[in-house]
Amino acid sequence: MSQVPEDLKYTQNHEWVRLEADGSVTVGITDHAQESIGDLVFVEAPEPGTSVQAQEACAVVESVKAASDVYAPISGEVTEGNEALADSPEAVNSDPYGEGWIMRIQPADAGELDGLMDAAAYQQLVADEG
């Protein structure tokens, strides 16, 4: 069973979202997502300053099986992309909720976070897909 930390928010597209103390959010793909797509060989994180709409594809993760888009969970501006993943995309596989984070976004409307799933709802989604 894959890990679904209690303190994070989740999307239908298998991204996780963590609200940081400074009001920005950190985004990555879930343990379940990294497990399904397999060993990553390439991650393209967005450039800082990119403005993104919720549900918009803004990063790419490529594994030995396929390339998949990563969608912005909420609208806002990208403040940072995880540059370390260019050299070590495997961090997404080994530590999806830690070193494998993909981008930080400054939300346009923090209220959008309430529309995301909590851990229990996401766990249910994964179970339903199985």
Partner 1 sequence: MTEESEAVLIYDISREGRRAYAQAPSESPSAESIPRRFRRQTPPQLPEVSELETVRHYTRLSQKNFAIDTHFYPLGSCTMKYNPRGANRLAMLPQFLERHPLAPDETGQGFLACIHELQQDLAVITGMQDVTLSVMAGAQGEFAGVAMIRAYHEARGDSERTEIIVPDAAHGTNPATATMCGYKVREIPTGSDGDVDMEAFKAAVGPQTAGIMLTNPSTVGVFERRIEEIAAIVHDAGGLLYYDGANLNAILGKARPGDMGFDVIHMNLHKTFSTPHGGGGPGAGAVGVSERLLPYLPIPRVTREGDRYRWLTETDCPQSIGRLCTFNGNSGVLLRAYAYVRMLGREGMPRVAEYSTLNANYLMKRLQEEGFTVAYPDRRASHEFIVSLKHEAKELGANVMDFAKRLLDLGYHAPTTYFPLLVPEALLIEPTETESKHELDGFVEAMVRIREEARENIDMVKGAPYRLPVRRLDDVKAARELDLRWQQAS
| Closer Cβ to partner 1, 33 or 116, answer by number | 33
Kindly list the residues in this chain that would bind partner 1 in the complex (CB under 8 A).
Answer: 36, 38-39, 41-42, 64-68, 89-90, 129-130
Q: How far is the CB of 123 from partner 1 (least distance, A)?
A: 16
CB of 68 to partner 1, least distance (A): 7
In sequence order, the β-bridge partners of residue 59 are 70
Q: How far is the CB of 61 from partner 1 (least distance, A)?
A: 12
Residue 114 or 129 with smaller CB distance to partner 1:
129
Beta strands in 11-127 (DSSP E): 15-19, 25-29, 40-44, 51-52, 57-63, 67-71, 76-81, 103-107
Q: Which is nearer to partner 1, 35 or 109 (CB)?
A: 35
C-alpha distance from residue 52 to each of 17, 58, 104 (Å): 15, 7, 11
The CB-of-42 to partner 1 minimum distance in angstroms stands at 7
| Alpha-carbon span 46 to 49, nearest angstrom | 9
Between 39 and 109, whose beta carbon lies closer to partner 1? 39
In this structure, are residues 115 and 34 in contact, taking their beta carbons and an 8 Å threshold? no
